[in-house]
Structure 1
Amino acid sequence: MFDFTGHIALVTGAGRNAGAGMARALAGQGAAVAVNDLDLGRAEDTCAQIEQAGGRAVPAPFDVTDLDAVRAGVAKAGTDLGGTVDVLVNNAGIPADIGDMGYGPFRDLDPAKWRTPVEINLFGAMNCVHTVLPGMREAGWGRIVQISSGAGRVGLGMGVALYGSGKSGVEGFIRHISQEEAPAGITANVLALGLMSNAGRGTDTSGVAAGIPTGRRGNPEDAGAAVVYLASPEASWLTGQTIDLNGGSQTR
């Protein structure tokens, strides 16, 4: 069960944190993994972890908001791994410690900063999906897993309106893709993560953390296990869904 032998996965934003956990988990089940990150060194670190565990991975450093770079990066990954990407995990985002996620009350945000969170969370995902779909359709099989957040469906008073807007948009996009591509053997689902172990920089998450029923934040292994199922051959009858992985936190 959950055997990915012969499959090639691309995980974006996989240089660290949850993305690295997703890449490691897929490789642990037999997938060859293209590890994307904007930073080559981080991508290489995750590849080294996978290889040390007996898996196979190559770094794929490109900016998901640059369509030409995505096309070139996916093509190179396919060449390096000897096939076509048939599992896509869209996880790329803006870590709070290296970029401006647009945190703060919307009324105070400079309009010049509105685009970046939306471009990476929505258009970055679109670029990757558009690039891998032809190969998946030709193969008659594919898995698209979009990483999102409860902030895409729940209004929060903690200054994440721009982030939530991007996530809301991409969840709608994935629902439409699931319907368009289901006849071709391609599933598309959303995994909405709750508060993760690396969260908290840039905004106050203490209130959210205190309300998690399981009493802890999520970790990379939690995210990796869920992605393995959603991307697996066994999940062929699950598409167009948003799955909350959040320690039991309620979404509305």
Structure 2
Amino acid sequence: MNNIYLTMLIPAVVSVLGGLLAVFWNPSHHMRSLIQHFAAGVVLAALAVEVLPELGREHAPGWVLIGSFAFGGLVMYAMKLWSIRMELAAKTLSKSEQWNYGLILATFMDVSVDGFIIGAGFAAGANTGLVLALGLSVELLFLGLSLVSETVKGWRVAVITSLLAFVVLAGTFMGYFLLKGASVSSISAILAFGVAALLYLVTDELLIEAHEVEEKPSSTLWLFSGFLVFWSIQLFSA
């Protein structure tokens, strides 16, 4: 049991490390694109090798999975529209006052959902929780880099990522304790919702941001490398 609690700390610790990394390292736009491709591959691997097979093993009713996935997609779409409105509102501020509130608030909401999904994974099984924790930790590690701007940098990024660490940890424990001992259908519904959320993370955040810069053909290899590295770890640790 103690090992599970320690494992739950991984995403929070990684988030803090990501903030410290952003303080001392400001990679080029091309390097950020490569990192985002790699992170997208890792998240896709987490879905393909653990979450979807886990849903198949649980044998939850099909309508529960379909409905939860559809609801997750609608929630992510609503969050997208809301974050766009926040970003447009932020652009009306002067440059000296401008913080990307839309991005920051959307990030906090994303991370809280991610934490709850990780907690649901641990409620489903230690291995599922570990895979989700490791997969999303890669995203959190470089999240601080994506928050860096002219007005949000240095210690501000470190503070924000530390708060994100608290949010993801709170979401993880909340998801675990609320769903621990819950029915198969309940846990499967949350995981199906999580599949939609993670697909949104890959297709509408990581890869779109990665494609904002001119790419080289080798960029695609980083996507497959992220998938392969995570899959290899899962295979050899099984």
TM-score class, shorter: 0.3 to 0.5
Which structure ranks higher in relative contact order (CA pairs < 8 Å, sequence separation ≥ 6)? 2
Structure with greater strand percent:
1
